[in-house]
Amino acid sequence: MKKSLVVIVVAWAFATNTSFVHAIEFTRQPFIQNSTSQSVDIRFVTDTQEDLVIKYGETINYGNLTYSTNYPGTGGNNNHFLISSLKPGKTYYYQITTSGGTPLTPQKDRSYFFKTAPNENSPFSWAAWGDSGEYGKVNIEALKSAKPDLVLISGDVGYNYTTDFANNNYQLFDVYKDISRHTPFYPTCGNHEESCETLLVDHTLPGGGTMGGQLSTYSWDYGNVHFTALNSNDKFTYLPENLAASDPQMIWAHNDIKTSKATWKVVYWHHSGWSGGSHTTDETIVNNMLRMASDAGANIVIWGHSHTYERWNKKQGFFPNVQVFTVGTGGKTGLTNCTKVSPGPGCAAKITTNKAGFLLATVEGENMTLRFINEDSQVVDTVTLSSDKNGDYKDNEAKVESLISYERLLMLSTTIAILASSALIVIFAKRKR
CA distances from residue 401 to 6, 35, 370, 371, 405 in whole angstroms, order as listed: 75, 32, 11, 9, 12
Distance CA 306, CA 371 (A): 19
Distance CA 163, CA 197 (A): 9
Q: Which 3 state secondary structure label does DSSP give 373? A: strand
Interior/surface letters 104-128, b for 16+ CB within 10 angstroms, e for the rest: bbeeeeeebbbbbbbebeeebbbbb
The residues with which 92 forms a beta bridge, in sequence order, are 114
Q: Is 400's pLDDT higher than 70?
A: no
pTM for this model (two decimals): 0.87
Per-residue pLDDT tens digits for 212-262: 999 999 999 999 999 999 999 999 999 999 999 999 999 999 999 999 999
286: left (phi over 0), alpha (psi -120 to 50) or beta: alpha
User: Do 230 and 212 contact (CB within 8 A), yes or no?
Assistant: yes
* pLDDT for the residue numbered 13: 43
User: Do 403 and 380 contact (CB within 8 A), yes or no?
Assistant: yes
CB-CB neighbours of 278 under 10 Å: 17
| DSSP tag of 161 | B
Distance CA 170, CA 65 (A): 31
User: Do 187 and 129 contact (CB within 8 A), yes or no?
Assistant: no
* pLDDT for the residue numbered 121: 86
The DSSP secondary structure of 189-210, one letter per residue, reads: --TTBS-HHHHHHTS--GGGGB
Interior/surface letters 321-357, b for 16+ CB within 10 angstroms, e for the rest: ebbbbbbbbbbbbbbbebeeeebbbbbbbbbbeebbb
Q: Where are the alpha helices (DSSP H) in 357-405?
A: none
Q: Which 3 state secondary structure label does DSSP give 177? A: helix
Q: Is 31's pLDDT higher than 90?
A: yes
Higher pLDDT, 412 or 209: 209
Per-residue pLDDT tens digits for 75-131: 888 999 999 999 999 999 999 999 999 999 999 999 999 999 999 889 999 999 999
Per-residue pLDDT tens digits for 288-345: 999 999 999 999 999 999 999 999 999 999 999 999 999 999 999 999 999 999 999 9
Q: Is 3's pLDDT higher than 80?
A: no
The residues with which 69 forms a beta bridge, in sequence order, are 80
Distance CA 62, CA 323 (A): 42
User: Do 252 and 314 contact (CB within 8 A), yes or no?
Assistant: no
Q: Which 3 state secondary structure label does DSSP give 243? A: helix
Query: What domains can you pick out in the chain, each with its CATH number?
Result: 28-115 (2.60.40.10), 124-402 (3.60.21.10)
Q: Where are the alpha helices (DSSP H) in 222-268?
A: 248-259
Distance CA 167, CA 202 (A): 13
* pLDDT for the residue numbered 388: 65
Distance CA 65, CA 56 (A): 6
Kindly state the helix (H) or strand (E) to which residue 69 belongs, with its residue range. Answer: strand 69-70
Share of the chain above pLDDT 70, in %: 84
* pLDDT for the residue numbered 72: 79
